[in-house]
Amino acid sequence: MNTLYDRLSPVVRNLAPSGIRRFFDLASQMQDVISLGVGEPDFVTPWHVREACMYSLEQGYTTYTPNRGLPELCVEIAKYLTKFGLAYDPSHEILVTVGGSEAIDLALRAMVCPGDEVLIPVPTYVSYKPCALLAGADVVELPTYAEDGFRLTADALERAITPRSKVLVLCFPNNPTGAVMDKEDLQAIADVVRRHDLFVVSDEIYAELTYGGQHVSIAAIPGMRERTVVVSGMSKAYAMTGWRIGYAAGPEPIISAMLKIHQYTIMCAPHMAQRAALEALRNGDDERDRMVESYDRRRKLIVAGLNEIGLPCHEPRGAFYAFPDIRPTGLSSEQFAERLLLEQGVAVVPGNVFGDPGEGFVRCSYATSVELIEEALRRMRAFVQNLAYHPVR
């Protein structure tokens, strides 16, 4: 007999639980764990931003804002995006959301009809697939490979396209691989996208965290603006994860559709957090750039360290993750992560939680102190050496 709860939405019931949960529970019970599993900056939000928020509260900015977000914040966002060669009308083409997370959800819900196919290069951030499924789409995963620097190739995209293909989700710089797509890479993708008349949701939340080169947005490539929603936010670049401010930028018809969902489900992003975001965008560039430089140094440190240990690590050119190949150990990603945690007290995230092609890799966040990174590397070295004496199989 069916109980009441068996009648909960099958789409929701069939969503896979997050693969991270188990490791979180394990790690939380242990002492002296060094976590390379954290997906957020290790900086506290710069003081001037926190202070601006307190001032806004003193001023009594505790009301709703317009659905779209504070007009002056939309203006700052539009101004900011010009640095990537993007021009958006702040009054019609920008939407302030509750984190980039909400923008991803809205964009997919605005674009997808049941049965449409959403193309998602993997390994990638974990929210696209559930959001697409919740919107009624069928998800088509496009594997990317270490040999290609985990970039999506036009070939792979072309081969996956069917008459039902509707949306391509891009996440570059990529979580978890740190992969970046250059202009030429994106141009090749853009050709395919235009030919098959697809939409693109481009999650560029790590755009500022691009090392040794400028971030390129696919929306800046000719013919792409009209079909692309750029998703970004304050979380990573300005160390503002807890404030929950993100945004979407795109052509008016898509943003208006997203705004409709947003106004009925969210109303508006939190007012005081929007005030803080305004301060960050107006006066936060220097501090942001200092944080980026600090990540870059730690990036080089961890990549060199992992390679020396014998865990080959391609150069992550963006975000704050290294994605070493752990196949030389003979362990699966889950085995590696679990044993490393239990035996050496270092938490990493198994690559397969970001999609099947992540198997054989683990994600190591380097948004942690130099001392802890070095200690984690020492422990990982001991772990790998110990495996070499007691080989698996």
Partner 1 sequence: MNDALRLKICDLLHENAKLSPETIARMLGETPDVIESAIRELEQEKIILRYSAVVNWDKLPVNQVTAVIDVKVLPQREVGFDAIARKIYRFDEVKSVALMSGGYDLQVTVVGRDIREVSRFVSEKLATLENVTSTATHFLLKTYKSDGVIYDDTDGERRLMITP
**Contact positions toward ligand PLP, by CB under 6 A?**
39, 99-101, 125, 171, 175, 203, 205, 233, 235, 241, 246
Question: Does 120 engage in binding with partner 1 (CB under 8 A)?
Answer: no
Q: Given the structure tokens 């080989």, which residue do they identify?
A: 391
Token readout for 387 is 């495996």
Contact status, residue 167 vs residue 111, Cβ threshold 8 Å: yes
Judged by CB under 8 A, the chain residues 9 through 28 that form the site for partner 1 are 18, 20, 23-24, 27-28
Quickly tell me which residue has 């696919």 as its tokens.
218
Residue nearest to ligand PLP (CB): 99
33 contributes a contact to partner 1 by CB under 8 A: yes
Instruction: Kindly state the smallest distance separating residue 176's Cβ from ligand PLP, in Å.
Output: 8
Q: Are 248 and 258 in contact (CB under 8 A)?
A: yes
Q: Give the count of alpha carbons within 13 A of 108, CB side only.
A: 30
Q: Is 161 in the site for partner 1 (CB under 8 A)?
A: no
Q: What are phi and psi of 148, to 5 degrees?
A: -95, 15
Q: What residue 100 binds from ligand PLP, partner 1, none (CB within 5 to 8 A, per partner kind)?
A: ligand PLP
* 144 forms part of the interface with partner 1 (CB under 8 A): no
**Rounded Cα gap, residues 20 and 42, in angstroms:** 19
| Shortest distance in whole angstroms from residue 319 CB to ligand PLP | 7
User: What, of ligand PLP, partner 1, none, does residue 304 touch, CB below 5 to 8 Å by kind?
Assistant: partner 1
Distance between CA 393 and CA 390 in Å, rounded?
9
With CB under 5 to 8 Å by kind, the binding choice for 151 among ligand PLP, partner 1, none is none
CA dist 138 and 167 (Å) reads 11
The reply on whether position 244 binds partner 1 by CB under 8 A is no
- In whole angstroms, how close is the CB of 348 to partner 1 at the nearest point? 9
Contacted entry of partner 1, ligand PLP, none for residue 185, CB cut-off 5 to 8 Å set by kind: none
Among 111, 278, 319, 349, interactor with partner 1 by CB under 8 A? 349
Query: Would you say 158 or 296 has its CB closer to partner 1?
Result: 296
Give residue 67's region: left, alpha or beta (phi > 0; psi -120 to 50): alpha
Question: Which of partner 1, ligand PLP, none does 35 bind, CB closer than 5 to 8 A by kind?
Answer: partner 1
Q: List CB contacts of 365: < 8 A, sequence separation 6 or more.
A: 35, 36, 37, 38, 39, 320, 321
Of residues 267 through 286, those in contact with partner 1 by CB under 8 A are: none
For position 206 contacting partner 1 by CB under 8 A, the verdict is: no
The string of DSSP codes covering 145-195 is: -GGGTTPPPHHHHHHH--TTEEEEEEESSPTTT-----HHHHHHHHHHHHH
Distance, in Å, from the CA atom of 108 to the CA atom of 118, rounded to the nearest integer, reads 9
Nearer to partner 1, 158 or 315 (CB): 315
- Say how far apart CA 158 and CA 349 lie, in whole Å: 31
Residue among 175 and 368 whose Cβ is closer to ligand PLP: 175
Give me the least distance between CB of 202 and partner 1, in Å please. 19
The residue (of 181 and 349) whose beta carbon lies closer to partner 1 is 349
Is the bond leading into 176 cis (omega within 30 degrees of zero)?
yes
- Pick from ligand PLP, partner 1, none: which does 161 bind, CB < 5 to 8 A by kind? none
CB of 147 to partner 1, least distance (A): 23
Task: Write the DSSP symbol of residue 347.
Answer: E
One of 191, 359, 374, 375 touching partner 1 (CB under 8 A)? 374
250 close to 230: Cβ distance less than 8 angstroms? yes
Q: Which does 347 bind (CB under 5 to 8 A by kind): ligand PLP, partner 1, none?
A: partner 1
* DSSP-derived secondary structure letter, 6: G
Is it true that the peptide bond before 90 is cis, omega within 30 degrees of 0? no
Residues at the site binding partner 1, with contacts judged by CB under 8 A: 18, 20, 23-24, 27-28, 33, 35, 37-40, 42, 44, 125-127, 175, 297-298, 300-301, 304-305, 347, 349, 353, 370, 374
